[in-house]
């Protein structure tokens, strides 16, 4: 009896997982070819409070930005159709760039430089009465490390929970700006309207640099806090010691693996922009960027862009 019940339960879970995969593999159809206003449904879903619909809308936008011909080209033309950029390009690019910036700031707060600044500020205010720290984290459910700060735990949560969302934002921004360079942006909204190309490139470069530093930091931290059981598993070859960048489960894999894979996506986007715009991209970013980068100095980001243009 118990064996039959267990088998039926396992079968039910397996069947449910397969059906769920079928549901989430279907692309969200926000508009149909020939709709008079293909941008409004997309903007409506992005402005909604339903995070699942937001994610599906971002996926649809990323696929539209990267699509070839047909419906994708028609929808991109609708995004670039308003010469003021306020109807579609501005809201869409602002939303995606805001997601990337918020994510980058969360990573930057977890890096040692931010921790050193916070410690210095704490020493400056040493004369203030001490507060009771009753909720100090001792074990992080997000990183698997024994002692982390709140910022590190929040950064790990962002990397895991927003892995797909940030990837779609990066691909959407890159795809639209590359399409503009191909001549699809007849009014030049990517260059003339906010957020403009320099600010977008700066946001992508800042994300690349933050992800790179975060991956290094978490890898070094994990190597210092590895348990005896994990050391034994690595010695026996049961656990890989290399960061492959292949993501199969953002919940089960180490956070540095997930961050490294997302860094590869961001680097690929910057490389596509560098290939499309060429050497003039660096001068454009240095001269016309209006927004302060979320992470890294202008010199660091310029050096990173130069290395990608080489």
Residue spans per domain, the chain: 38-113+140-309
Cis peptide leading into residue 20 (ω within 30°)? no
Percentage above 70 pLDDT, the chain: 78
Radius of gyration in angstroms for the set of CA atoms belonging to the chain, rounded to a whole number: 22
pLDDT in tens, 110-166: 998 754 454 444 444 444 444 434 444 444 555 555 546 788 889 999 999 999 999
Smallest CA-to-CA distance from 180 within 192, 170, 169 is with 192
pLDDT above 60 for 246: yes
pLDDT above 60 for 46: yes
- CA distances (Å), origin 161, targets 154, 164, 251: 10, 8, 8
Q: How many residues does the chain have?
A: 310
> The pTM is what?
0.80
Smallest CA-to-CA distance from 99 within 40, 42, 54 is with 54
Give the helix, strand, coil percentages of the chain, each rounded to 5. 70, 0, 30
């Amino acid at each position: 009896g118990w064996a039959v019940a267990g088998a039926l339960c396992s079968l039910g879970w397996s069947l449910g997982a397969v059906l769920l995969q079928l549901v989430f593999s279907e692309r969200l159809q926000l508009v149909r070819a020939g709709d008079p206003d293909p941008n409004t449904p997309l903007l409506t879903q992005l402005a909604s409070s339903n995070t699942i619909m937001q994610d599906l809308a971002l996926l649809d936008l990323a696929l539209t930005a990267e699509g070839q011909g047909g419906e994708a080209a028609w929808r991109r033309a609708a995004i670039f159709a308003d010469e003021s950029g306020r109807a579609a390009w501005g809201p869409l690019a602002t939303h995606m760039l805001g997601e990337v910036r918020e994510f980058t700031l969360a990573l930057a707060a977890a890096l040692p430089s931010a921790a050193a600044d916070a410690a210095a500020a704490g020493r400056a205010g040493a004369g203030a009465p001490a507060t009771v720290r009753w909720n100090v984290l001792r074990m992080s459910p997000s990183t698997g490390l024994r002692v982390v700060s709140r910022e590190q735990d929040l950064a790990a949560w962002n990397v895991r929970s927003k892995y797909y969302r940030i990837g779609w934002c990066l691909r959407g921004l890159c795809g639209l700006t590359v399409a503009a360079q191909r001549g699809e942006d007849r009014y030049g909204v990517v260059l003339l309207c906010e957020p403009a190309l320099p600010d977008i490139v700066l946001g992508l470069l800042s994300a690349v640099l933050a992800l790179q530093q975060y991956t290094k930091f978490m890898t070094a931290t994990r190597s210092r806090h590895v348990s005896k059981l994990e050391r034994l598993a690595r010695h026996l070859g049961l656990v890989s010691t290399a960061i492959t960048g292949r993501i199969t489960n953002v919940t089960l894999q180490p956070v540095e693996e997930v961050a490294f894979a997302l860094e590869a996506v961001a680097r690929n986007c910057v490389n596509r922009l560098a290939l499309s715009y060429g050497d003039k991209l660096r001068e454009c970013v240095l001269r016309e960027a209006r927004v302060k980068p979320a992470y890294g100095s202008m010199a660091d980001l310029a050096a990173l862009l130069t290395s990608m243009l080489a």
